[in-house]
Amino acid sequence: MGKKYFGTDGIRGRVGEAPITAEFMLRLGWAAGRVFADQGYSHILIGKDTRISGYMFESALEAGIISAGVNVSMLGPMPTPAIAYLTRTFHAQAGIVISASHNPYHDNGIKFFSGEGKKLPDMLEYAIEAELEKPLHTVESSSLGKANRVIDAGGRYIEFCKSTAPTGIDLDGLHIAVDCANGATYQVAPAVFEELGAKVTAIGVKPDGLNINENCGSTKPELLQKTVVENGCDLGIALDGDGDRLLMVDHQGEILDGDQLVYIIARQLHRDNAMWGGVVGTLMSNLGLELALKGLGIPFERAQVGDRYVLEQLVKYGWLLGGESSGHIICLDKATTGDGIVAALQVLGAVTRSGKSLHELKQGMAVMPQTMVNVRMAERCDPTQDKAVQQAVAETEQKLGDQGRVLLRLSGTEPLVRVMVEGIDESLVNQLANELAGSVEQAMG
């Protein structure tokens, strides 16, 4: 049975359009409070990014939770992974994140973490949705929850991040540009790297409620590239609006995506004899990552797209490192979710321990040309089941041989089919991707 509100990464949409309204958030807070109260729990944390709508939804959730008889602690603007961490350390039963991650300011959303700092189990999401269908009623006044603000949340998280840095790391002498996307990391990220000895040039640290992810951050790294080159920085760090994604820029202004960063971390762990098992990527991970890890003798498995699926595979295999090309990187021995600051520290550990620049470290992985074509559907269907499309896929795979990959994937959020072709020859990859996209369009009429 499908869920009405919860997707693969919580509830998300445009502010003011159902379900991203103040009324719904009040009911959601009450429903979540009731579910946890029925299990004998009594404490929920709420954090948010820097969107202007966060104030409205924070207040609505707070009121709903309190009306259900559950206590709530307000963290203020904090990265998503910080809320996961603080939920564990405060021994709270759940953490709520008000954020739409890398989306523009006019979107917002809600994510839940369990008391273990992991995504909420399906069972609890179904239970919350069931409560949402019931009339809202307030507990007796003597049983109302209480609210407080955690004034040292930022300091706690900064110390946690520093504790995850590789042993002996010293960033003294490194000049780092840090782009915080005018989002939730704008206070904590520069402090982490400065306190570990780096000279930091910070950008994207003046949020006004409307400029989150606007021409900055991991989805728009051009400003960081320019900043690194013009200021002579050794490297740059780009985070997204809620701090769970990471891209980096080397001293020449060249971008390193999540696949390249995972490779650098894995190779350093391998050299330190600290690589536990293998690496989990996704269906979209570059073939170059798989081949580079194979060359080191490191196993590699692919999960569905989405950091929750990467985490599921890591737990299944008992491995510790996984990630997506988009920059969600999970270091499971350090954190329970993707954490841009923590992942950046692992890369910086490889830089300092090897004595090599980020530009040099990325040379061990050859990025395969990869072309993605989005084919829009008039109505949602599944063209991957069409025999003509399946034949076109088979012919494309035959042309690529064992030096390429084909993937057709339905978008989880839009009526799109994503057609991806990957291989050694960039011109051939582009040609085959467009031909295959044409076959998909034809099959859909």
Cα separations in angstroms, 268 against 192, 211, 224, 321: 22, 36, 25, 12
Query: How high is the pLDDT of residue 66?
Result: 97
Contact 389, 383 (CB under 8 A): yes
Q: How many CA atoms does the CB half-sphere of 419 hold within 13 Å? A: 27
Query: How high is the pLDDT of residue 445?
Result: 65
User: Model-level pTM?
Assistant: 0.93
Contacts (Cβ under 8 Å, ≥6 apart) of 56: 22, 25
Per the rule left: phi > 0, alpha: psi between -120 and 50, beta: everything else, 217 is: left
Query: How high is the pLDDT of residue 444?
Result: 76
Query: How high is the pLDDT of residue 363?
Result: 94
Which residue, chain included where needed, has tokens 């990630």? 323
Query: How high is the pLDDT of residue 139?
Result: 96
User: What domains, with CATH codes, occur in the chain?
Assistant: 11-153 (3.40.120.10), 172-253 (3.40.120.10), 257-344+359-367 (3.40.120.10), 370-443 (3.30.310.50)
Contacts (Cβ under 8 Å, ≥6 apart) of 174: 197, 198, 199, 234, 235, 348, 351, 352
Tens digit of pLDDT at every position of the chain (445 positions): 678 999 878 999 999 999 999 999 999 999 999 999 987 778 999 999 999 999 999 999 999 999 999 999 999 999 999 999 999 999 999 999 999 999 999 999 999 999 999 888 889 999 999 999 999 999 999 999 999 999 999 999 999 999 999 988 999 999 999 999 999 999 999 999 999 999 999 999 999 999 999 999 999 999 999 999 999 999 999 999 999 999 999 999 999 999 999 999 999 999 999 998 999 999 999 999 999 999 999 999 999 988 889 999 999 999 999 999 999 999 999 999 999 999 999 999 999 999 999 999 999 999 999 999 998 887 667 788 888 899 999 999 999 988 899 999 887 666 788 899 999 999 999 999 999 999 988 887 6
Rg (CA), the chain: 22
Query: How high is the pLDDT of residue 380?
Result: 66
Contact 279, 262 (CB under 8 A): yes
Active site residue 101: yes
Other residues' Cβ atoms within 10 Å of the Cβ of residue 382: 11
- Token pair for 177: 């540009």
Out of 101, 218, 285, 326, the active site residue is 101
Query: How high is the pLDDT of residue 286?
Result: 94
Query: How high is the pLDDT of residue 403?
Result: 83
